[in-house]
Structures are given as C-alpha cells and as structure tokens.
Amino acid sequence: MTFRAKLFWVFTLALLLSVGLVAAGVTVATRRAFDDLNREHSDALVAQFQREFDRRGEEVVDRVKAIASEEATIHMAVDLSLPKGDASVYVYDARGVSQSHQLDFLDFVNSDGTIISSAEWPAHFNSKMNWVIQPEDWASTGSFLTKMDTQDGPTLGLMAVTQVPVADKAIYIVGGERLDKGFLSSLVLPPGMRALLYLNLDQGFQANDLVSAGTPENEPERFTSLIEKEQASPQPRTEKIQWTFDPASAEEIHALPLVGRQKELLGVLLVGNSLRNVVLLERRIRYLALIVAGIGLLLGALLSWWAAARVTRPVTKLVTAAQEVAEGNWSAHVDVRGRDEVGRLARSFNQMTHQLIEQRERLIQAERVAAWREVARRLAHELKNPLFPLQTTVENMQRAKDKNPELFDEVFRESTRILLTEIENLKSIVGRFSDFSKMPQPEFAAVNVNDVVRDVVKLFEAQLGAVGRPPITPELHLDEELPAIQADATMLHRAMENLVLNAMDAMPAGGVLMLRTAHKDGTVLVEVSDTGGGLTPEESERIFTPYYTTKQHGTGLGLAIVQAVVSDHGGRISVESESGVGTSFHIELPSHPPRRPQKFPMLLKQEEEA
Amino acid sequence: MRAFAQAPAPPEASAAPASGAGGEAVLPKEWSDAVGTLAEKIAIAARGAGAVSIDMRNISSLSSAESSAIRALFESRLRARHLAIVPSSQAGAAQLILTLSESRTAFVWAAEFSGSPAAGPNSVAIVSVDKSPGKPEQNAKQHITLDKRLVWQQPSRFLDVAVFDNPAGSPSYRVVLDPTEIVFYESSDAHWDKLPSTVATLRSSPWLRTVTGRFDTTTNEVWVWDGNPNAQNFPAVHCSGPLDDPKQIQCTPWKHNVLSVVPWWDFPGHEGATAAELWQTCGQGSIVLSTGNGDWTQPDSIQPYIVSESGATVIPAGDPMPMDGPVIYLTRQDQGNTARAIVRNLATGNYEAYIVTATCSQ
Amino acid sequence: MSRRLAANSLLLALALVLAVLPAKTARRPGYGGTLRIEIGAVIHSLDLSVAAVSPEEAAAKLEIDSLINDRSGAPAAQPAAGPFRISAWEPGKRLTLAANGDFPKGRPFVDAIDFTMGKSAKDRLLDLELDKTDFIRIPADQARSAAESGVRVNTSQPDELLAILFATGGSNAPSSPVRQAIAQALDRGAIVNFVLQKTGEPAGGLLPQWSSGTAFLFSASSAPAGAVQQVKEIRAQNQPSIRLLLGYDSGDSVEQRVAERIVVDAREAGIAMTAGPIQGTSALGAATVPPGFDARIIRWRMPSPRPDAALANFLAAFPGLAQAAADACGPANSAERIYRCERAIVDTREIIPLAFLPQVYGLSARMRDWQAPGPGETWPLADVWLDGAPQ
C-alpha cells in the first residue's frame, strides 16, 4: 500500500470514526429521549386506564344499588322473606333487569346463598353462591374483581354486591360487568396503543384465556414469559416484544396485575404501546444520518485523497528519487520547494545524493586507484614470475657472451627458448586480462537455463570421466518447469563453465558434481555444488574478488567473471561451503534483467580503447 | 226385562262400600278379591321372613274408613298365610310399604317389599280395581243445607237421568237421556251394564249441541228440545211410555214452548242462571236452587234461595255448594226436596248427574 | 245470625248492583261468531302424508285435520266430512274454516275458525291480552306468568313426557354408570318449579299417576352426593373426563331451558356436559339421537289415557328401548305388568324421565265451553261457543 493510500485511509478512518461516534452519540441520545417520552406516555395511559377502571367500578356499584332500591326488588325480598315465599316466580327476572341496567352479570341471591335468578346463566338458579353470604361489609367494599361462573365457563367480572335486608333476612344483588372483549373495546386508547386482557383462570399460560379487543392474537404464546412472571409475583412490569424480524414491529407491553378481594391474581391487563413510530423515526434519523455521513465520508474521502496527494506528492518525489538512486541513478533530484519537514527532507535528500555522488566518485576513484593498484599488484605479481626468468636468462646470455663465448650459442638457444616460453606466459597473462576487460554487454533473449546447464555438462562430460583421474559423477536436478528468462546464453554458458571448472578443481580425488535448477516467483535458482574440500570462511569472503584464487594456478578471474555475468543479469551469487564437505554456489537470476548496470568508467574507457 | 222397583224415596244404594256393624267400611267383593291377590303375592315374596311390618299411605280419594278396611283385610290375609304383622321398629322383619293409589279409572294398590330372601331389590306387587261410576263423593265439608249425591257419570254428554235405586240385593237402574236416544243401564255389583234396548229420540240434527231434555218419572214422559232461546222451527220430540219397558216408549215430534215446560227463574244478578223450585218449602217461602254466576268454563255452584210466594223477594239461604264444573242442567225431582243437576266435571271431563238434597234448618 | 244477615244483605246488594248492569254475559251456548286462533307453526300443506318440518307443525296439522275430517269411522275408510270445511287457505299464512251445517253430530256453534300461522309464543300471548285472538297454545313454562298477568289459562292433565334419551350402540355412547350418574344428579324439582314454573310434575316413570296409578313407585328425587361419588368411581376406571353433548329441538324454548338446567346439574356432579340445538327434529324422529350428540331431550305425548295403550305406543315409538326391555314388556293387561314393563325400561337408564307436562291453552274472555282434550283427543272446537257473538 502506498504512503498516499495509507494516508488516505488514515484520514478516512479518522473521519469515519469521528462521524460514527457522533452518529452513535446522537442515536443513543435520541433513543433515550424517545424512550423517556414513550415511558411518560405509557405511564399516563396506564394511569388513565386505572382511572377508567375505577370509574367503571363505581358505575357498577351505582347500578347495583339502583337495582336494590327498585320496588320490584324490594317486593321480591319481602316475598321471599315470608315462609311461603316462592322463589320460582322470579327465576327469569334477572335477565330483563340486567339488560335494562346494562349489566353483564346480575344474580339475585337468597339469604342462604341460593341463586334466585341469574342473568348470565339462567339455568343456574338454585345453585349456591356461598361467597356472597360470607361475612363482609358489602356497603363499604365497593367494586371488586372476581371469577364468575357462566354457561360457557368461568370468566372475570367487575362486580359489586348490595344487600336488601328484610327483617332478619336479606337478599343479595350481585351485579357487574364482564371483563371481555367488549370491556376492552370500551376503553378509550390513543392510536398505537391497545389493550389485552389475560384471564388467569387456569394453571400456567393458556392461549385461550388471552382476550383482545380486536382480532385474536396470532402469537399469544409470546406473552407466556410475561404472564408466568406475573403469576409468580404479581406486580406491574414492562417488557418489549418484537413480533417479526422488523424492529418496527416491536411493542412495549405493560402488565398490570388484576387482583381479587383476597389479593389473588385474577387477571393481567396488558397495555401495548407500539414502538413502530419511534423505531421508524429512529430509523429515518439513522438513514438520514447515514446518508449525511455517507456524503460526508465521500466528501471527506475525496478531500482526504486530495490532501493525501498533496501531502504525499513531495514524499512520492522523494520516494521516486530514492528508487532511482537505489537503481543506480544517483543523480536523481527531488524538486520540492516546501519549507516544511518534507521540503527539508527533500533538500537533505538532494544534498545527500549529491554527496553520495561525490563520495561515489571519490570512491570510484579510490576504487579505481585501488583496482589499479590491485591490478598493478597482480600484474606485478604475475609479471614478476615470468620476468625474473627473462631477466636471469638475459643475464645468463650476457654472462655467457662475456665469459664463455664458446658456450654462447648453446646458452643463446636455451635462453631464447626460455625467453619465448616466458614471453608466451606473459602473453597469456595479458590475454586473460584483456578478456576480463573486454567482457561484452550481455544480449538478452529468452533462455532456458536448463539447456545451458545441460550444454555445460555435456561439454565437460569427457573430462569428468577422463581416464587416469578419479571420476567425478555429475548429478542433475533440473526443474523441468523452469521458466525462460531474459538472459545472454553465451555469458551464462561461460559462467557455468567457470563454476564447473572450479568444482572440478576442488575435487582432485573425484566426487559428485551436482547441478540443480529451480524457480521461485519468477526467479530462477541455479546451484552448483561439489564434494571437495570446501572453503574456509575467509576464503568464502574473498572468493569473488578478481585475481583471488586458492588454486596453484589460474588468474583468479573465473569467479569474478561469474560474478560479473550474474551481476549483468541482475542476479545474485552466493557461496556456501563447509570444510571437508563441499562447496555450493547459489545463483539467483531474475526473469528480466535490470537496467543496464553502471560500469566502471575505467572499463568503459578500456572498452572504447579496445 | 225386569220391572223397576219404584222406591218411595231415593235410597242410598250405590257401589260404595256399605258400613259394617262396627261402623267400619265393608269392602265390595271386587276390592276384597284384589286385596287378597295382593296379600298372596306378598306372602310369596315374604317367604322365609316370618314377619312383616307394614307402613301404609293413602294417596287416593279413598276415605279413611275405606283405607282402614283395606289394611285390616290385607293384614288378615297375611296372617292367614302365616305371616306375623309386627311394628316397624322391630328388627329382622320384612319392611312393607302399602300404598293406596289411584288412576283416573281405577284404584291401584301397591306393596313395595324388601328384606325377604325371596324378594328382589325392589320387589313390588300391584293390583288394581276399576272405579265404579256410582261411587259417592264425600259429603261437603261445610254444614250446609245442600247435599249432593252422584248418581251417574259418563264421558259423553247426556241431558237427564232417571234414577231407580233398589235395596242391596236387587239391581238398580239408570235411564239416561242422551241427545239422540234413551239408554238403559242395570247395576251389578259395582258395575253398570248397558242394556241392549235403546229408544231413539231425535234424528241427526244440526242443533244437537244445544239440545236439552228431561224426564218426568211420575208421568213417564220425556221431552227433548233445543235449549237455545232463539231456536225456531226446531223439531222437538216428546216421548211417553213406561220407562221400565223401552219397547213401549213412543216418541213423536213436538212443537215446544220453552216457557211452558220449565219455569224459569231470573234472579237479579244471575241472568241466565238455571234454577229449580223444589216441592218442599222452607219457612214462608219456596226453596229454589240456582246455579252460580260463572260461565261454562269454570266450576259452578248451586245456591239455595228462599223465594216468597209472590216471588217478589228472593233471599239467598245458605252457603253455595261448589260443584266440580259448570252446572249445565238443573231441575227439580218429581217430588220432595231434591233436584237433579248435571255437571260437566272440568277435571275429568265427565258429565255427572247429582241428586241435590236441600235440608231446611230453622 | 247477624253475620248471616249481613252476608245476605251484601249478596242482595251485590245482586241489585249487578241488576243495574247490562246483562253482557250470556251463559248459554249460542251459535255464531268467528273463533280466532293463532298458532306458531307455519303449515304449507294440510296433507298429512306430507312430512312436517317441526313437531309443532305436525301437531297443528293433526288438529286441523280433525276439524275438517271425521276419521271416527273405520281406519281404512275414506274420512267423512268434519265439523268444518275449508273456506280460505293461504299456505303458510292463514286458514279459514267454515262451519259444516251438515255434520251428523251437529253444526258447530261458531260460524268459522280463523287460523293465523307463524306467530311466536310471545306474540300470541300479547295478542290474547289485546283481545286480537281467542285461542292459543301456551308453552308450559309460560303458563304461570300468563295466568298471573290475567290471561285465562286452561291446562290439561299432564300427558306429555319430557325425558332424556341417550344414544346407544356406538363405542362412544355414554356408559350405564354415566347415565346412572346423570339420573342421580338431575334435580327434577328445580326443573318443574323453576324452568317449568310449576306447570307439570316431576316424572320418575313413563306414565303419569293419573293414568297408571303407579307413578309414585318411580323415584323422581335427586341424589347429587351419589352422583358425585359415581363420577369419582367412573374416573377411577380410566375415564378421566366425561364430556357429553345434550341436544334439544332448536325451535323449542322449553327443551332448551330444560337442557341448560340439566347441564348445570351434570356439571355439579363432575360431568362436563354442554347443550346444543338440533335442527329438523321432526324429520329426525322422536326416537333418534342424531350423530354427534350423546343424548337429546325428547317429548312423547300419550296417545290414549289408558296406560296399556299408551305403553304400547311408547314401545312402538322407541323400538330400541322396547328391545332392551323385551323380557319384561309383553302384552300389558294389568297394572302390575304395565309397571314391570315401565320399570324395565326406566332401569335401562337409556331414557331418563324428567317431567310430565300438560297442554296449556290461553282463552279469550268470550270463549266458552272449552275443555282441554285428553291424550289421543283433538281440540273440541266444534263444542266451543263465543259469548256475545251475533247469533
């Protein structure tokens, strides 16, 4: 990832984080505000319901009292207080009275608890309603909830009881309203709110006991946990129920326990407050926020990109220049005019490269001088050998001429022979130097290194198994899927020859010559290993130095040539050796050569002169 | 055809049980036979028990005298079958519940028995005896001057009845005037057998529903006419001949004059009431019996009046005697202080003829 | 003596007062007038071979047939003309009969009878009170309230048995212990006193006391504690819950109220019973419990006051019961044999008698000489006359 991209992402992420934090904060604050509003709303509605409930209870009490004070009721009470009072006459009276007083339940109960007439269950006459005659001050009890038996089973009623005393007896008027769908429908609730009633008539949760004002609940079992909690411990509770995957379907359910006179749980009023509007509003706010954030992020990203570009341009220039420098173009210059750190860096860079160039030139000069000194030293060393016998031979000839003229012809012949031999030697030395200096520029073409290796092995095949010397066994481990690389096949061939020669020279007692090729990530790897005596660490360091040799003969240029070839191909060469085990040379050749390497000016000059 | 014995006064002959010497009821043979059958069944069921205790209940219209007589006879028959009768509290005895019940047409006596090895879980023996039409009603509870005696009853409407009661041992007779014929009945035990000879009076007529008629047993005459005061050109019938010889009774058409046959009395406030002046007087006036003010869908009553000779004063005398239905016919008997009344019993639907006796107490 | 004088004076005064009033009440039968009758049934065909839709319609058709046909002759013979003949007929709405002057047993008193059909019991009562009709039938449970509101009510002897008939034969049919429990749980007294408003009497057997004289041998009392115990024993025998459906004629409010009361009694014994209406009971037949129902309320009217004839008719009407009690029910010619047959049938518990109902009629003020017909008899409307009708 580029510095610009990193910077861009940093800017963008920072922006994203900021925007995200702000959005989250806004969302939380909004939700809290809505929740508070919602809670206030719900509390107000629950209180309203409670008032409504109480009001209905008072109405029930008033109606029951009105019935008790009617002449017909008093007449019935008087009649039934007489020994011959016939309750059968009144068996169907309750229904008409209940309808005229708009009560769902109405029972006339005798002083012994026997039902005289029942509006909600006409056939229930003569049955017992013993709880009515339990000692209780009905006048002060007011309305209450209780379970009532009907033809269709038990249900809940908001009831009131009044006595009509006659002499030492009394009849009881038990009236009330049924807590059912109609009761729920009569409650005035604002839009988005609804009321359900759970009749706690059985153990556990029974879906059939859940009454709603409108259509029956599709999933009554969703209320199971809330109801069971109420059954375990009756107290006002609130739970949220999400009906579908859509959060807008969520509903806040307030559970209000409805208890009877003995504080037993008779029912649970569930007031549902739809959170749909809240959720939709939140969602809308969130979408807006997201859109705004998105636009902001987009703008921010663009700005970030522009800013990053602006900020990184000098850096890029710096990087480019550095790359050029790394590739050898030490004259790369960074054109940055800023006064900030980047500008100072650029100026420092330019200064550095300039100094590097100078230093390099000085170094080159020094190296050149060193190289010349080395060359001179090597020349001196190489030349000294043949020159000494030349000198000795000429001196011998002089001596002979001077002192033994009779021997001068023989001495002259011998001396000329020696002189010619040493002159050939000198010519050979000069020739190798010339070869090294005349190494041409590589001409790149697609080359399969395996072919080069095979050719080299074939070339030395005879020598490897020559009679009179211990055999050297070649082992080839060539990667048949070796890709072709851009290389100079001739120069590679020469380098391989030198390596093979070196390896052969390192195994005077025979051994194994292994050649391996492989490839990795487009780079071709070549390994040439021997099982000779190996090199010491000091020898390994200097092995590629021109004219360095561990052999008794040779100019020491072979590995230098190999290194030069490898370097021209943009590759690398390394050596791995263990004394007594053997030596391995590892060559890495890229698929494409680099730019033309900088040559020593001295060598270029020599090329030109040559 | 047996001649009727003309009794100087209507006897008390009926199918009711006579009183025995000790005042207890003497049961008719049929009743006794039924009790015997019942006892027989119980004795078989109680085989092995040795002793029974009897609880009796009477849910019929039998009088206490009659029910006591039945029980006494029942116990005697059981003893004859070697069963001891013991009190209910005695342990080990078979428990017997004797119930005297009745249906519309018969007395039904049932003995529910349990506790004997031979008895099933609810061993019941039942006998029944048909009710006789002449069974007397109980006397009215009030001490009123009027008395009534049921002398005839039948499901279909009849216009009048002539009563010929003979002492026990001789059959009694009833001559019943139906709308279209005269029918003769002879008593045997507690039954009345219809004699084959009848005398046709009216042929089929559209006005049969308002037909009325009466006997005059002193002159052996029978009249049948339309009781509707607005009837005109109605072919009434007059028959004459000995009532004990149906073949000699001759019937001829007759143009009637309503007022000439039966004296009407119109009582203030009882317009349209039926009245009958009895032969007997009471005090300074005549005894006149009148029906009440109800209509024919309600039970009626017969109210005694004393009417002055001139007819100017009409004074109720005595409590009205309630009847079981509307009195649709009232006429004085041919002599004495009695009248005949025909009542439609609203409970049973039967038409009943009573002899009403008015006793004057000053 | 002074008290008697005072009473007589009072009576005399009353007589004098009444003498001033015009004599409106004629107490002797007279001819003329149109008798107005309202019935609940809707009759579309007077032909007896056409099946009636409801028991009410079937009964009304029989009554009307007895007015226009005289079937007292040989059963196979063509019926003779009855006391009335049809003068106007609007099927389903109105029927007018005119008196037949040629009727051999005498022309009826009234000139005509006007039947209005399809009137509910409530409307009939109202019309009677408003003097818009002369004669109606009143449901047994409304007799008392009608009488208390001033209506002239005429009641026959109880001649109709109201009972529960159980389904038998299927694997789900209520078992004998269940039927026994229900029989014990029933409170007939409550049914007669409250539901039927003391019109009728509790029934333990098939025939009323006035007919057989042995009705007292059949217990009509309830044993709720025994019923509860019986239910416990049933539950202990792997029948954890007993659920029954009791059917009643959908058009009969008396049956409905009785059924609802039976449900209460059963529930208090621990039997989960519910009541439901049955449609088309007339086509179903009185002796059939329709599929889906475990029992139904039935009505059986005695065809004759004679217990032997009535019982024979019952056996013919309920062949299943006759089969169950075949050993005890042969030719019943004595009170004991009749009782044994009745007992055998009742002891099967396949039928539980509830009450004997009378036929209840409402009469207008001017209708005279009405006598409620007995079992097997039809309305004696030929004998009825209208007080105050133009002669």
> Over the stretch C115-154, which tens digit does the pLDDT of each residue have?
999 999 999 999 999 999 999 999 999 999 899 888 999 9
Task: Please judge whether C214 and B271 are an interchain contact, meaning their C-beta atoms are less than 8 angstroms apart.
Answer: no
CB contact C5 to B (< 8 Å): no
- C160-357: CATH class: alpha beta
- The hierarchical CATH code for the domain C34-156+360-386 is 3.40.190.10
**Per-residue confidence (pLDDT) for residue A49, from 0 to 100:** 75
Neighbours of chain C (3+ CB pairs under 8 A): A, B
Rounded to whole angstroms, the Cα distance separating A40 from C323 reads: 76
The mean predicted confidence, pLDDT, of chain A is 85
**Which residues, in sequence order, are bridge partners of residue C95?**
C89, C115
- Reported as a pLDDT band with limits 50, 70 and 90, residue C317 is very high
Taking alpha carbons only, the member of B142, A430, B160 closest to residue B151 is B160
User: What is the chain A residue with the closest CA to C188?
Assistant: A126
Is C96 in CB contact (< 8 Å) with chain B?
no
Q: Which residue of B has its CA nearest to C216?
A: B101
pLDDT at C6: 52
- Asked if A122 lies within 8 A of C190 by C-beta distance, the reply is no
Of C148, C187, C260, which has the smallest distance from its Cβ to A122's Cβ?
Answer: C260
Q: Are B28 and B170 members of one domain?
A: no
Partner B, chain C 30-69, Cβ-Cβ below 8 Å = 30-31
Asked if pLDDT for residue C238 goes beyond 90, the answer is no
CB A73 within 8 A of CB A173: yes
Which residues are CB-contacts of A53 (< 8 A; sequence separation ≥ 6)? A158
* CA atoms of A481 and A523, how far apart (whole Å): 12
Return residues 140-199 of C near B (CB < 8 Å). 152, 154, 157
Q: C67: pLDDT confidence band, cut at 50, 70 and 90?
A: very high
Chain A hits for C197, CB-CB cut-off 8 Å, are: 88-89, 91
Using the predicted structure, report yes or no on whether residue C366 has a pLDDT greater than 50. yes
| Test the C interface: residue of B57, B61, B108 with most C CBs within 10 Å | B108
Supply the pLDDT for residue A18. 87
Share of chain A above pLDDT 90, in %: 30
Q: Is C217 close to B110, i.e. CB distance below 8 A?
A: yes
pLDDT at B184: 92
User: Is residue B10 one of the residues assigned to a domain?
Assistant: no
Q: Do B101 and C27 touch (CB under 8 A)?
A: no
Q: What is the pLDDT of residue C116?
A: 97
Q: Are B126 and B188 part of one and the same domain? A: no
β-pairing, C243-249 vs C295-301, is parallel
B189 & B302 share domain:
yes
Percent of chain A exceeding pLDDT 70 equals: 93
Separation between Cα atoms, residue A268 and residue A258, nearest integer Å: 5
Q: Is A84 an interface residue toward C (CB < 8 Å)?
A: no
Of A88, A89, A123, the CB nearest to C261: A123
- Give the single-character DSSP code of A220: G
Chains that touch A (3 or more CB pairs under 8 A): C
Is C264 within 8 Å of A88 when comparing Cβ atoms?
no
User: What DSSP line would sit under A413-482, residue for residue?
Assistant: HHHHHHHHHHHHHHHHHHHHHHHHHTPPPP--EEE-HHHHHHHHHHHTHHHHT-TTS--EEEEEE--TTP
Same domain, B28 and B93: yes
Instruction: Give, in words, the CATH class of A69-178.
Output: alpha beta
Specify the higher pLDDT residue, A187 or B112. B112
pTM of the model: 0.62
Highest mean pLDDT range out of A31-45, A64-78, A437-451? A64-78
Smallest CA–CA distance, residue C273 to chain B, in Å, is: 31
Predicted confidence at residue A137, as pLDDT, reads: 86
Residue A518's nearest CA partner among A474, A571, A475, A478 is: A478
The CATH T-level fold of domain A189-274 is Beta-Lactamase (3.30.450)
**Together in a domain, B96 and B150:** no
Q: What CATH number corresponds to the domain at position B57?
A: 3.40.50.10610
The secondary structure element, H or E, covering residue C129 is helix C121-129
| B161 against A352, higher pLDDT | B161
Q: What are the residue boundaries of the structural domains of chain C, listed by start?
A: 34-156+360-386, 160-357
CB contact under 8 A, A89 and C257: no
- Name the residue in chain A with its Cα closest to that of C194: A88
Do residue C213 and residue B269 have CB atoms under 8 angstroms apart? no
Is A179 strand, coil or helix?
A: coil
Are B94 and B166 within one domain?
no
User: Given this model, what pLDDT does residue A220 score?
Assistant: 87
Model pLDDT, residue A215: 79
What distance in Å separates residue A101's CA from the closest CA in chain C?
22
Checking if the pLDDT of C5 tops 60, the result is: no
**C144, C193, C260: residue with CB nearest A123:** C260
Contact B268 C11 (CB under 8 A): no
Rounded to a whole number of angstroms, the distance from the CA of B42 to the nearest CA of chain C is 13
- Domain co-membership, B271 together with B122: no
* One domain, residues B53 and B185: no
Closest CA of chain A from C214, distance in Å:
28
Least Cα distance to B344 among B277, B274, B289 occurs for B274
Query: Which residues of chain B are within 8 Å of residue C23 when distances are taken between CB atoms?
Result: 271-272
C-beta atoms of C260 and A89 within 8 A:
no
Does residue C81 have a pLDDT over 60?
yes
User: What is the average pLDDT across A58-62?
Assistant: 94
- Chain C residue numbers with beta carbons less than 8 Å from the beta carbon of A126 are 187, 190, 194
Q: Are B161 and B66 members of one domain?
A: no
Nearest C-alpha neighbor of A599 from the set A368, A321, A353: A368
Residue A418: half-sphere exposure toward Cβ, Cα within 13 Å = 19
Q: Which of residues 278-297 of C touch B (CB under 8 A)?
A: none
The number of domains in chain B is 2
Predicted confidence band at A36 (pLDDT cuts at 50, 70, 90)?
Answer: confident
How many residue contacts between A and C have a Cβ separation below 8 Å?
A: 31
The answer to whether residues B281 and B190 belong to one domain is yes
Residue range C162-187: average pLDDT?
90
Is residue A130 less than 8 Å (CB to CB) from chain C? no
* Residues B126, B153 within the same domain: no
pLDDT for residue C165: 95
Does residue C71 carry a pLDDT above 90? Answer: no
Residue ending a domain, among B130, B161, B187, is B130
At A459-504, the pLDDT tens digits run 998 888 887 788 899 999 999 999 999 999 999 999 999 999 999 9
Which chains form contacts with chain B, at 3 or more CB pairs under 8 Å? C
pLDDT for the residue numbered C192: 94
Helices then strands (H, E): number in chain B? Answer: 3, 24
The answer to whether the Cα torsion of A350, A356, A360, A366 is positive or negative is positive
CA distance C264 to chain B (A): 30
What is the per-residue pLDDT for C14?
45
Would you call C193 and A88 a contact, using CB atoms and an 8 Å cutoff? Answer: yes
Return the H-helix or E-strand segment holding A178.
strand A169-178
Q: Say which residue, C233 or C2, is predicted with more confidence.
A: C233
**If you measure CA to CA, which chain A residue comes closest to C144?**
A89
* Percent helix, strand and coil across chain A, each to the nearest 5: 55, 20, 25
Which of A281-295, A438-452, A546-560 ranks highest by mean pLDDT? A438-452
3 state SS for A40-80: HHHHHHHHHHHHHHHHHHHHHHHHHHHHHCCHHHHHHHHHH
List the single residue in C with minimal CA-CA distance to B60: C213
> Scanning every residue of chain A, which has its alpha carbon at the shortest distance from the alpha carbon of C272?
A153
pLDDT at position B23 is 45
Closest in B126, B229, B349 to C371, CB measured:
B349
Question: Closest-CA residue in chain C for B329?
Answer: C28
Q: What backbone torsions phi and psi does residue A279 show, to the nearest 5 degrees? A: -65, -40
Question: Which of C144, C197, C263 minimises the CB distance to A123?
Answer: C263
Q: Do B297 and C307 touch (CB under 8 A)?
A: no
Least confident interval from A14-28, A371-385, A573-587: A371-385
Q: Do C264 and A122 touch (CB under 8 A)?
A: no
Sort out which chain C residues have CB atoms less than 8 A from B99's CB and list them. Answer: 216-217
Q: Give the pLDDT band of residue A519 (cuts 50, 70, 90).
A: very high
Same domain, B63 and B177: no
pLDDT at A390: 84
Could you tell me which chain C residue has the CA closest to the CA of B110?
C214
User: Residue A117's closest chain C neighbor by CA?
Assistant: C194
ipTM value: 0.80
Phi then psi for residue C292, to 5 deg, are: 95, -20
Q: Which of A136-145, A378-387, C321-330, C349-358 has the highest mean pLDDT?
A: C349-358
Touch criterion met for B and A (3+ Cβ pairs within 8 Å): no
Domain boundary among the residues B76, B103, B130 is at B130
Domain covering A440-609: architecture: 2-Layer Sandwich (3.30)
Nearest-Cα distance to chain C for B21, in Å, is 32
Q: Nearest CA to CA, how far is C71 from chain B (Å)?
A: 18
Look at residue B16 and tell me if it is in a domain. no
Would you list the domain boundaries of chain A? 69-178, 189-274, 341-435, 440-609
- Each residue's pLDDT, cut to its tens digit, for chain B (362 residues) gives 333 433 222 233 334 444 444 445 578 888 899 999 999 888 888 777 778 889 999 999 888 888 999 999 999 998 888 888 888 777 777 888 999 999 988 899 999 876 554 555 458 899 999 886 544 333 322 223 588 889 999 988 899 999 888 877 788 889 999 988 899 998 876 778 888 888 888 766 667 777 888 888 888 888 887 766 555 556 688 888 888 888 888 888 876 554 443 444 445 555 556 667 776 667 667 778 888 766 666 788 888 877 766 666 667 777 788 888 888 888 888 767 788 999 988 888 889 999 998 887 65
Domain of residue B304: give its range.
146-358
Last residue of a domain, one of B76, B96, B130: B130
